[in-house]
Structure 1
Amino acid sequence: TLVAALRDTAVPAAGAIRAAEEAGAAIAPLWWGFANPAGPVSAEAFERLASRLMAELQAAQDAGPLDGLYLDLHGAMVAEHFPDAEGELLRRARAILGPDVPIAASLDPHCNLTAAMVRHADVLSPFRTYPHVDMKEAGARAMALLLARAARGKPFAKAFRQLDYLIPITSQCTLVAPMAEVMAARQAIAAKMGAAELSLCFGFPYADFADCGCALVAYGVTQEAADAAAEALLRELKLREQDFAQAVLPAAEAVATAMRLADGQGPVVIADTQDNPGGGGHGDTTGLLAELIAQRAEGVAFGLINDAESAARCHAAGEGARVTLALGGKSDGVALHVDARVLRLSDGRFTCTGPMAGGNVAELGPSALIGIGGVAVVVTSRKMQAYDQALFRHLGVEPSQQRILALKSSVHFRADFQPIARAVLVAAAPGPVVADPATLPFRHLRPGLRLRPGDNRRTG
C-alpha cells in the first residue's frame, strides 16, 4: 500500500504518516508520485494526474466524510495552462471538500508561494533546510498543524507577503550565511510573536510567471499577530539583501583553485551548479569535466554524466575494456569525445545513506565508472543530483579519499559532502540552470520585482 511504501523513506509524506498514526488518526491514502524538475508540465499530463488525484479525493470524501486533507507538494510546478499549478490543485481540492474541511500541505522551500495557495489551504509548511534534511519533519509538522486546525474548529489568521527581489539558488543554502541567519531570525520571530507557523519559501527563480520568487506566510491566533510576524520576517530579508549577492567561479578558475587547494587532507568539492538536475538540468553537460581533463587534474571523482547511450557502450565492452565515447551532450551542451577505460559496472540501483535521502532507493539504470586520465567519471542512464555519497560508493569509489570531487549540484551536495570537504567551490560551467537568473529572458514577472539582490532595476 501507499502507506507501507512511504513509511520508511525520507519524503515528507513519511513524516505526515507517522504523525497521523501517533495521533490515532485513520489514514485514507490517495496517491503519491515524484518527478525531477525540468520544463513546464504539459496541459495533458497535468490534467491526467490532477483528474486522478481529484477523483480519488472525491471517492474518499464520499466514503468518509473526511476530517482533513494533507498534501505532499513541492510548490514550484508550472503547467502550460496553469502557471500556479499547485494553487490550481489546491483550488480543486477545496471545491471538493468545501470551505470547512481543513487542508494542509508540506512544501519544498523552493516553492513559488502564491496568494492562491495561501487562500485555498488552511496551513502551508515548507522544509526549513536547504539541503533538505528535514523533509520528514516538515511533513509531520504539516500534519500536526492540520490536526490542530481541525481541533480548533476555525481557520488561523493568515498574513502573506512577497519579497521584491529574486534570491539565486546558490545563495539559498541554510548551512551558511546569510540564509542561516535568516532562518534563525525566523525561529525567533515565530516564538516571540506566537505564530502557529511562520513559513518562508525561498522561491525557484526559473519560473516565468507573476508569482516567481521568495514569499512567506504567517499563521496566528489573531490577524494582528500574523501581520506582525510576517512584517518582521520580511524586514529581516530586506536588511540582508546585499548578503544574498554571492558570486560563483568560472569553471577554469574553479578547477585551478581546487588543484591548488587539494592537499590530501580531504577532497576539494566543486559544485557544477549550472547543470544541477535538481534545478532542471539533465546532468549531461561536459564543460567542467572538459576543464578538469584539460588542466590534467588528478585524483578526481566526477558525479555524474547522465548518458544512457555511453553507459550501454560501457556495459557492452565490459570491465577493463577501453572505449571511445561521445560522452554527454544528449540534452544540453555538446558531447565530449573521450578515450576511456571501463573501471566498474553496475545496474544503477543503490540505497542512499546520507542525511537528505537516507533510506531512499535510487534507480539510475545501467551505470559505469570510467577513467579518463586522472578523472573517474560516474556515467548513468538516468539523472540524479549528486547529493549522496552512495552514488560513488556503489561503484567502488570512496569519496573521502579523493583529492577533488566534482558534483552535479547547487546546494544539496553539502548535506553529505561538506562534512568531508577540505573546501567547497561553486563553479559556473555552461548549463541551463544559470547561477544568475537575471540573465534569463523573463516576460511574465510581476511589476517591481528585481532580478538579483542589490540591483535597483525593476521589472516594468
Structure 2
Amino acid sequence: MPRIAIAGFQHETNTFSPTPTGWKEFCMADSWPGLLQGPKVIDGTRGMNLPIAGAIEAARASGQPIELIPILWCAAEPGGAVTDEAFERISGMILEGIAGAGALDAIYLDLHGAMVTESLDDGEAELLARIRRITGSGMPIGISLDLHANLSPDFVENAGPITIFRSYPHLDMADTGARCMIEILKRLNGAPQFAAFEQIPFLVPLHAQNTGIEPCRTLYRSLDELPASPDEYADIAMGFTAADVPNCGPSIVAYAKTRARAEALARDLFERFCACEGKFDTALFSADEAVHRAISMQGSGPAVLADVQDNPGAGASADTTGLLRALVDGGAQRASTGKEPGFIRALLGTMHDRKIAVDAHAAGTGVIFSGELGGKSGIAGDGPFIGRFEVRALSEGRIPYTGEMYRGGIAQIGPSALLSVEGAKREILVVVSSERTQCLDLALFTHFGVDPFEFDIVCVKSTVHFRADFEAGSRAILNVAAPGLFSCEPEKQTFRRLRKGVRIGSCGKA
C-alpha cells in the first residue's frame, strides 16, 4: 500500500505591500479554513474547491489502496512578505511531520508558487529543498500550483510532478489537485517522466490573464491539443506581477517519457505564448471614465466596474476610495436616449474598514452617522471619504459562499454592514467589512438583502475572479485603474530585481 504524505502552505505575496503576513494570518479562518493539522486536514477541507481536497478525493477514487498521512494545511490572504518567523514555524511543522511519518512512497504538496518571505525570494523552493534533504532525490513530490505562480528553475528541478490551475477565475482548483495525485500514482506505478521548463520573457498584467478571453483562451485550450499520449502533459503559469523577484513572470512546465519529448512540448508552447505578445487586452479606464460609460450604456443587467488595483486577493488594502468618489461625483442621470432619464442605483463592495463597521454596529440599523470611510492605508492619491451614512443592514460576517469558485467555504469578514451614502445624487450602497476579502461571490451582497442584478452599476474590489459569479447577466464589465497597492500597469511599477531581459510593458494596449 503506497504511503503518501499530504500538506499545504499557501501564500500569494505582494512585495509592494507594506503589511507583512505573519503566523496569526495563517492561523485565522477567512475564505478558507484556518491552520489544520493531522486528520483535520482531510475533514476540514472535504467538499471544498481546494487542491488538497481534490487530491484526497482522487486518491480515494483511484481504485487502489493508498494510505494518506495528513500533516498540515494553511493559507493566508494575499499580502506583504511572509515573516521569517511564520515561514520557519510552518515549514518546521511540515518537515517534522514528514520526518516522523515513517517510510513514505511519495509526498503531495498544495502550494501557491508565489510566496516571498522577508529573507527569501522563493519560499516554496526553499521549503522543497529542505524536504529533499529528508527524502533524497528519488521520491515523487507532486505539487499543485496556482495559475499565478512565479516558477524558478530550482523549484522545478526539485519538484515533480507539477500541475497548475488552468482557469482564471480559478474554478478548477480541486481538479488540479486531483490531476497531481493521478500523476503521482502513475509514477509510483512505474511510469517514467522527465520535466522541461521555459520562462516567458515578458510580464502579463493580472487583468489580462483571464482565461475566458483571447489570447489566454486559445493558449489554455492548446494544453489539451499538444500532448500525443496520456503519459505527457504541459501546464502554464501566468505569473504574479506584484512580486519584485528575479523569477516573476509566466512560465511553462512539460512532462513526457523522454527529456527530448518534454523539451519539445515546452518549446512548442513557449513559441505559441510568445506569438501572443501584444495581443493581451490590457485596457483600463479611469474611475470617472468608467462611471460615465456605465451610466451611458444601454442594455439589461448592471455594468460591473472592477476596481482591479485594490483587489485584496492580490494583496491590496481593499479600502481605497477612488471609485466611490467617482460614483458620488458623477452625474445622477442616464445619458438621454429619447426616453426620460432614469435614476441610477450603484452598489460597491467589499470596502475594508474595521472602524466604520464597528461604528455601524454601535449605531444600529436605520441610524445615520458621520464618519471617514476607507482611505486609511496611506496610499498615494487616496484618502478617506468623509460623509454621512445610513445603516441599512448588519452582520457578524460569517457568510457561506454560493458561487462555484469557493464552494463549501465561508467568508469570515468580521462585523460588517451595508451602508448607504447620504447626500449623493444617486443611491449608492457600500458593503463594509472588518477583514479584507475579495468581492468574488454574489453572497457578499445577497447576504445583506440586496440583489446586485437589480442595480445599474456594481463595483467590485476584484480583478478577474468576480467574473465567475457576476459576468453572466451583466451588460458590460469595465476594468478600472483607481489607486491601489496592486498595479495592473507593470510599466508604472518600480521593479528592481527582475532577471535580465524580462520585458515589463510589452503586451501592448488592446
The alignment's TM-score, normalised by the length of structure 2, stands at 0.86
Change in 2 beyond 3 A, CA 1:262/1:395: farther
Q: Is the 8 A contact 1:12 1:140 kept in 2?
A: yes
**Does 1:300 pair with 2:349?**
no
SS in 1 for 2:125: helix
Change in 2 beyond 3 A, CA 1:153/1:134: closer
State the partner residue of 2:302. 267
Match of 1:177 among 214, 232, 246: 214
**Does 1:220 pair with 2:259?**
no
Q: Is the 8 A contact 1:125 1:197 kept in 2?
A: no
- Any idea what the Cα deviations from partners look like across 1:238-279, whole Å, max 9, x if unmatched? 11111125221111101100111155x111100000101111
State the partner residue of 1:9. 48
**Does 1:323 pair with 2:369?**
yes
State the partner residue of 2:97. 56
- Paired letter, 1:231: R
SS in 2 for 1:371: strand
Backbone CA RMSD of aligned residues: 1.3
**Aligned partners of 2:436, 2:232: CA distance in 1, in Å?**
38
State the partner residue of 2:32. none
State the partner residue of 1:72. 110
**Does 1:290 pair with 2:336?**
no
- Paired letter, 1:442: F
Aligned counterparts, 1:333-344, within 5 A: 333-344=382-393
State the partner residue of 1:19. 58
**Aligned partners of 1:334, 1:196: CA distance in 2, in Å?**
52
SS in 2 for 1:448: coil
**Does 1:230 pair with 2:266?**
yes
Q: Is the 8 A contact 1:162 1:216 kept in 2?
A: yes
SS in 1 for 2:351: strand
Deviation at 1:287, TM superposition (A): 0.5
**Aligned partners of 1:212, 1:166: CA distance in 2, in Å?**
8
Aligned counterparts, 1:243-392, within 5 A: 243-244=279-280, 246-261=282-297, 263=299, 265-296=300-331, 298-331=344-377, 332=379, 333-372=382-421, 373=424, 374-392=427-445
Deviation at 1:129, TM superposition (A): 0.2
**Aligned partners of 1:226, 1:92: CA distance in 2, in Å?**
26
State the partner residue of 1:202. 238
**Aligned partners of 2:441, 2:256: CA distance in 1, in Å?**
38
Match of 2:195 among 152, 155, 158: 158
- Paired letter, 1:342: V
- Paired letter, 1:280: G
**Does 1:416 pair with 2:465?**
no
State the partner residue of 2:18. none
Q: Is the 8 A contact 1:245 1:452 kept in 2?
A: no
Name the count of aligned residue pairs.
449
State the partner residue of 1:44. 85
**Bigger mean CA deviation after superposition, 20-29 or 138-147:** 20-29
State the partner residue of 1:143. 181
**Does 1:402 pair with 2:448?**
no
**Aligned partners of 1:383, 1:195: CA distance in 2, in Å?**
42
Structure 1: gaps spanning 5 or more residues: 456-460
SS in 1 for 2:371: strand
Deviation at 1:171, TM superposition (A): 0.6
**Aligned partners of 2:350, 2:324: CA distance in 1, in Å?**
10
Structure with a larger share of its residues in helix: 1
Deviation at 1:350, TM superposition (A): 1.1
Change in 2 beyond 3 A, CA 1:262/1:355: farther
State the partner residue of 1:118. 156
Q: Is the 8 A contact 1:245 1:453 kept in 2?
A: no
**Aligned partners of 2:274, 2:231: CA distance in 1, in Å?**
20
Q: Is the 8 A contact 1:369 1:378 kept in 2?
A: yes
Structure 2: gaps spanning 5 or more residues: 1-39, 333-343
Deviation at 1:195, TM superposition (A): 5.8
Identity percentage over the alignment?
40
- Paired letter, 2:119: H
- Any idea what the Cα deviations from partners look like across 1:201-228, whole Å, max 9, x if unmatched? 0000111111110001100011121111
**Aligned partners of 1:285, 1:8: CA distance in 2, in Å?**
34
Change in 2 beyond 3 A, CA 1:269/1:195: farther
Match of 1:132 among 170, 173, 182: 170
**Aligned partners of 1:330, 1:35: CA distance in 2, in Å?**
22
Deviation at 1:16, TM superposition (A): 0.5
**Aligned partners of 1:107, 1:278: CA distance in 2, in Å?**
16
Q: Is the 8 A contact 1:262 1:403 kept in 2?
A: no
- Any idea what the Cα deviations from partners look like across 1:271-307, whole Å, max 9, x if unmatched? 0001011111011111001110111552111011101
Q: Is the 8 A contact 1:262 1:404 kept in 2?
A: no
The alignment's TM-score, normalised by the length of structure 1, stands at 0.95
**Aligned partners of 2:407, 2:212: CA distance in 1, in Å?**
19
**Aligned partners of 1:157, 1:334: CA distance in 2, in Å?**
53
- Any idea what the Cα deviations from partners look like across 1:371-412, whole Å, max 9, x if unmatched? 014111000000111110000011101122111110001111
**Aligned partners of 1:426, 1:245: CA distance in 2, in Å?**
10
**Aligned partners of 1:159, 1:294: CA distance in 2, in Å?**
53
**Aligned partners of 2:189, 2:107: CA distance in 1, in Å?**
14
Deviation at 1:454, TM superposition (A): 4.3
